[in-house]
Amino acid sequence: MKNIKSKLAISIVFLFSSLFFSCQENENPNSISQGEMIVEFDNYVGNQNMVIDEVGSTNYRYSTANGQEFNLTRFGYYISHVRLEGPNGEVFIDEMNASADANQIKGYYRVVQGESDTYNIHLKNIPEGQYNKIIFNLGVKEDGIQEGAVGGILDRAAGAWFWNWNSGFINYIIEGHSPASLRDENRLQIHIGGWKNIPSADENPQRFFDNNVEVSLPFDATVRVSETMRPSPHIIMDLLKVIGDTDLAIQNNIHSPAAAVPFVQKLAEAFVVDHTHQ
C-alpha cells in the first residue's frame, strides 16, 4: 500500500509539473522578432498649443475664423483599432479586447488634454519591418460597447465619456466657454458620439449615425521597427480644422449623433503626421 501511495505521489508531482507547462501560452519558437512604436499626439488650436482652463474661466485664448473667442475646459478623444502598414506589405494590427478587468483592456486609448501621460500611445509586439502609414479609428465602435460593462478608460464610474441615455461613448469631446454662446455661463459643449448605422430603407431616412472615423496618415518617411529601433511618429491635431468655421452662437450644445455629423466630416482632416523620430 505504501508503495502505491508513493507512486501516486510521484505521479502527482510529475503531473503537476507537466501541467505547469501545459497551461503556459504557446510561445511560437519561429516567430520573427518584434519591436515597439510610440505614437505621440500633440493637440493644437490653429498654431497655438492647446491649454485647458478651469471651468468658469473667462480667459479666451482662441478664436474661430470669424473671430468668435473661446477657451477649452475639457478636450480629448478615444482611439482604437490602430493599424500600421509598410511599403512591402507589412501589416501590424493592434490587438483589441474589451473587458470588465481594466488590466485586460487592449487596443483602446484615450488622449485627454492636460493629462500628459495620455499623449503617447505605446504599440507593442510589432513585427520587425518597415512602416510608412498609420491607420486608426477615432472613437469606440460597437465592439467596445456591445460586450457590456467594461473597465479602465471605458468605465463610466472612472470618468469615461459615456452617454447613459443613448448607450455609447463620446468619441471626441470639446467643452469650454465662448462669449458667443448665450447659454448659462457661455457654455460650449460639442460631444461627438454615435456608433450605429441603420441605413435608410424605402421611404425612411437613416436612423442613427456611426460617427466613428477612420483616420489614415502617411508618415513623412518610412521608418524601421526592430528589437533595437523604436520609432516615434508625432501626430498633430488641430481643433480649428473641426470647429474653425462653426458659428458658436448657434452650434454650442451638441449632444447627439445626428447633430454631430457636420463635425464628423471634418475630423479626419484635423490629424496629420508632422514628423517621425527614428
Question: Got the DSSP string for 185-214?
Answer: GGEEEEEEE----B---TTPPPBS----EE
Choose, by CB under 8 A, the member of 118, 135, 256, 272 that binds other proteins: 256
DSSP, collapsed to helix, strand or coil, labels residue 270 as helix
Choose, by CB under 8 A, the member of 46, 114, 151, 244 that binds other proteins: 151
Query: Using CA atoms, how far apart are residues 64 and 197, in angstroms rounded to an integer?
Result: 31
- Count of CB atoms situated within 10 Å of the CB of 9: 10
**Between 159 and 218, whose beta carbon lies closer to other proteins?**
159
Q: Does residue 156 belong to the site contacting other proteins (CB under 8 A)?
A: yes
Alpha carbon 189 to its chain centroid, in Å, reads: 20
CA proximity to 275, closest of 219, 215, 218, 217? 219
Query: Using CA atoms, how far apart are residues 226 and 228, in angstroms rounded to an integer?
Result: 5
Dihedral sign, Cα of residue 75, residue 76, residue 77, residue 83: positive
Interface region with other proteins, contact rule CB under 8 A, candidates 28-36, 142-150, 183-191, 242-250: 142-150
Least Å distance, CB 61 to other proteins, is 29
Footprint of other proteins on 50-79 (CB under 8 A): none
**Between 169 and 271, whose beta carbon lies closer to other proteins?**
169
Q: Does residue 207 belong to the site contacting other proteins (CB under 8 A)?
A: yes
Query: Using CA atoms, how far apart are residues 266 and 270, in angstroms rounded to an integer?
Result: 7
**Cβ proximity of 244 and 64 under 8 Å:** yes
**Between 83 and 106, whose beta carbon lies closer to other proteins?**
106
Choose, by CB under 8 A, the member of 198, 221, 249, 250 that binds other proteins: 198
Q: Does residue 218 belong to the site contacting other proteins (CB under 8 A)?
A: no
Choose, by CB under 8 A, the member of 65, 91, 149, 249 that binds other proteins: 149
Q: Does residue 96 belong to the site contacting other proteins (CB under 8 A)?
A: no
b (16+ CB within 10 A) / e for 221-238 = ebbebbeeebbbbbbebb
Choose, by CB under 8 A, the member of 129, 144, 168, 233 that binds other proteins: 168
Choose, by CB under 8 A, the member of 6, 66, 166, 216 that binds other proteins: 166
Choose, by CB under 8 A, the member of 38, 96, 135, 145 that binds other proteins: 145
Choose, by CB under 8 A, the member of 164, 184, 199, 228 that binds other proteins: 164
Give 69's strand partners: 63
* Interface with other proteins: number of residues (CB under 8 A): 44
CA proximity to 161, closest of 152, 170, 150, 153? 170
Q: Does residue 157 belong to the site contacting other proteins (CB under 8 A)?
A: yes
Alpha carbon 179 to its chain centroid, in Å, reads: 31
Q: Which residues bind other proteins (CB under 8 A)?
A: 1, 4, 7-8, 11-12, 15-16, 19, 22-23, 99-102, 145-151, 155-159, 162, 164-168, 196, 198, 204-208, 256-259
